[in-house]
Amino acid sequence: MNSGFFTQSWLRLNGFVTQVQHKLVKGELPAKTKTQLKRRRGCVYLIGAGAGDVELLTVKAYRLLQQADIVLYDWLANKEILKILPAETETVFVGKRAGHHSMPQEKICQLLTAHALKGKRVVRLKGGDPSIFGRLNEETRTLSEHDIPFAIIPGITAASGCAAYSGIPLTERGCSQSVRFVTAHFKNPAEQPNWQNLASSKDTLVFYMGLNRIEDIAGHLTGHGMDREVPMAIIDQGTTAEQQVCYGKLGNIAQQNLWQSFTGPALIIVGEVVNKRQKVSLPLLAKQPP
Ligand SMILES: C[S@@+](CC[C@H](N)C(=O)[O-])C[C@H]1O[C@@H](n2cnc3c(N)ncnc32)[C@H](O)[C@@H]1O
């Protein structure tokens, strides 16, 4: 082959690319070509892994994980999930744990975008449900800005998982008709929740990220008028084999010893529903039940 052949081929290819670019700008490309170009951009699945127990993963999440080229996962997502991935799937830990060194959110958004723009099927695996204290919007906004198609697969949030595995109903007719998920981790410490409003409600209150603020939470609620007899439960490593639950009341939780050794992640449930709990037979959930 001579150099003229290469030059001609190169010019033809260049001309074709320019033509496509012009048509793309003018919106003249046939629908099929547009879809093909989009497909080459890749896509992102934001998947909730469920809280704790690896078997809380949904069937849809399982399938999409099998099909992923790359999985970016958080510290809260059960690492056992990585074992079900095909050997060739790339995995990246983008660990985010409050108070610990973690990858900045901007960097995570950049990684998601970069891999999707390379044409990969990217899974962003988050603990619990991605839409609950999962910084979902920061990631979906970035993907939208880059016109990257994405889908969100819900997961079992810590509130549902911990309540179920400790036998506490989150709502109960005649006792609690609604439930509130509250973050105890404020980006700006001065930005406190409306304690007056929380203390006067009959809702079940579920505090996420509150292990270091248990006394603070109880103090704020009673300080704003909530009865010191209102029960509370602190669930450590909920739904896992290491789950431990400490029960107390707003007025005496500081004197309970059990929670002082908890490592987290831990969830706090406040409300009359805690007194409605019934003993759950967790061994029934084992792969080979008794
Ligand atoms: C950044 S938030 C993420 C919540 C997550 N997106 C969800 O829906 O469960 C992290 C907090 O969730 C709670 N959490 C997550 N997994 C938990 C578990 N297995 N047991 C108890 N609390 C858990 C803890 O309060 C933890 O500090």
Q: Is 127 in the pocket of ligand 1 (CB under 6 A)?
A: yes
Q: Is residue 176 domain-resident? A: yes
Confidence of residue 25 (pLDDT cuts 50, 70, 90): very low
Please identify which of the residues 96, 126, 236, 249 carries the catalytic annotation. 96
CATH number, domain containing residue 165: 3.30.950.10
Q: Tally the domains of the chain.
A: 2
| Rounded (10°) angle between helices 136-145 and 105-117 | 40
Quick check: is 203 catalytic? no
Q: Is residue 281 domain-resident? A: no
Considering only the C-alpha atoms of the chain, give the largest distance between any 2 of them, rounded to a whole number of Å: 90
Q: Is 156 in the pocket of ligand 1 (CB under 6 A)?
A: no
When pLDDT is averaged across residues 162-172 and rounded to a whole number, the result is 98
Q: Is residue 175 domain-resident? A: yes
Taking the CA atoms of the chain, what radius of gyration do you get in angstroms? 25
Query: Does 95 share its domain with 187?
Result: no
When pLDDT is averaged across residues 1-12 and rounded to a whole number, the result is 46
Query: Does 129 share its domain with 62?
Result: yes
Quick check: is 96 catalytic? yes
Query: Does 71 share its domain with 128?
Result: yes
Query: Does 195 share its domain with 258?
Result: yes
Q: What is the span of the domain harbouring residue 84?
A: 40-156
Q: Is residue 28 domain-resident? A: no
Amino acid at 183: T
Which pLDDT tens digit goes with each residue over 28-56?
545 555 555 555 679 999 999 999 999 99
Q: Is residue 149 domain-resident? A: yes
